[in-house]
């Protein structure tokens, strides 16, 4: 991990040493006849008089940290509230303080020395592929929803096959085993992974937007930010270890969620998808999961029958 981080750090230093700042003039980013709304004006203010690359990088990093750790906090609080214990999937296992602290330290290292250099390279790629970054107006909510839905579909397909490949002997032993250190996952462990896994699986999140803007020439950075936010929420939820009555898969049966992914961590088998269930169903990589659920349901029925006697 240290070697990869060192190489990314050197790459980051090289980019900063050779990059010529592009100072944004917000007045040139508003098309004639358009009056920015409140959010668009705040966006323009964030970029105005600042270097675009550094603004994108700092904003992306801070936003990522706030969403990722902020989404974990409610699940962490649930660990201390007895009422929520009945919703914990593996209720016979505890997430100890030392486990969480170890995970937190690993994440800080990975975020600063793996993900931050990756974020530094995003703005040049976005501009190279024709993405709008600091410009206004923002796309409509309908356009963003459609694009994010496509990104979900691509990321889930990518994640299924790359994740499944990670369970191949040498790849699992040397890379993916790090992520499976926690057989009873908790939200913070969503990004607890080997640097190579972060690089490989992370491409599913970024390649979708880059491919889309390459084909259509129409994508705004704000859409990517919202997409990353939703993807982070999904990843933390899937690793939360909690299955509530209001969990999304109870309303959308094709949604994976913690119920689906927790079994993967518990057994190291089946359920390779990230967001949706259909690839596992289509390729038969959820049969053991369904057998496990059937066994639990049968045991619950037996318990009810004995209680009724």
223: left (phi over 0), alpha (psi -120 to 50) or beta: alpha
Q: Kindly report, residue by residue over 52-71, the tens digit of the pLDDT.
A: 999 999 999 999 999 999 99
Q: Kindly report, residue by residue over 83-122, the tens digit of the pLDDT.
A: 999 999 998 888 889 999 999 999 999 999 999 999 999 9
Q: Kindly report, residue by residue over 132-173, the tens digit of the pLDDT.
A: 999 999 999 999 999 999 999 999 999 999 999 999 999 999
Rounded to the nearest 10 degrees, the angle between the axes of helix 221-238 and helix 195-216 is 140
Rounded Cα distance between 234 and 275, Å, is 7
Alpha-carbon dihedral 222, 228, 229, 231, rounded to 10 degrees: 150
For residue 285, give both structure tokens: 């990589």
For residue 8, the model assigns a pLDDT of 54
């Amino acid at each position: 991990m240290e070697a990869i981080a060192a190489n990314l750090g050197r790459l980051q230093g090289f980019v900063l040493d050779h990059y010529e700042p592009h100072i944004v003039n917000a007045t040139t980013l508003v098309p004639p006849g358009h009056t920015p709304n409140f959010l668009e004006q705040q966006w323009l203010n964030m970029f105005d008089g600042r270097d675009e690359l550094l603004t994108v990088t700092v904003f992306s990093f801070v936003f990522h940290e706030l969403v990722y750790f902020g989404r974990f906090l409610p699940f962490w609080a649930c660990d201390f509230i007895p009422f929520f214990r009945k919703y914990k999937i593996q209720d016979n296992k505890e997430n100890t303080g030392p486990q969480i602290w170890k995970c937190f330290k690993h994440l800080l290292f990975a975020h600063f020395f793996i993900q931050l250099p990756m974020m530094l390279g995003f703005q040049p790629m976005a501009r190279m592929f024709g993405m709008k970054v600091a410009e206004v107006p923002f796309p409509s909510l309908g356009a963003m929803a459609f694009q994010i839905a496509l990104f979900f579909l691509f990321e889930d397909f990518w994640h299924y096959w790359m994740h499944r490949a990670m369970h191949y002997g040498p790849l699992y032993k040397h890379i993916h085993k790090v992520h499976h250190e926690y057989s009873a996952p908790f939200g913070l462990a969503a990004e607890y992974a080997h640097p190579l896994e972060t690089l490989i699986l992370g491409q599913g999140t970024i390649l979708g937007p880059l491919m889309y803007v390459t084909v259509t020439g129409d994508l705004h950075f704000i859409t990517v930010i919202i997409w990353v936010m939703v993807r982070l929420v999904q990843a933390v939820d899937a690793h939360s270890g909690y299955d509530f009555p209001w969990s999304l898969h109870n309303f959308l049966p094709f949604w994976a969620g913690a119920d689906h992914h927790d079994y993967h961590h518990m057994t190291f088998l089946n359920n390779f998808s990230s967001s949706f269930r259909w690839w596992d169903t289509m390729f038969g990589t959820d049969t053991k999961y369904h057998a496990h659920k059937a066994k639990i349901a049968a045991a619950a029925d037996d318990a009810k029958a004995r209680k009724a006697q």
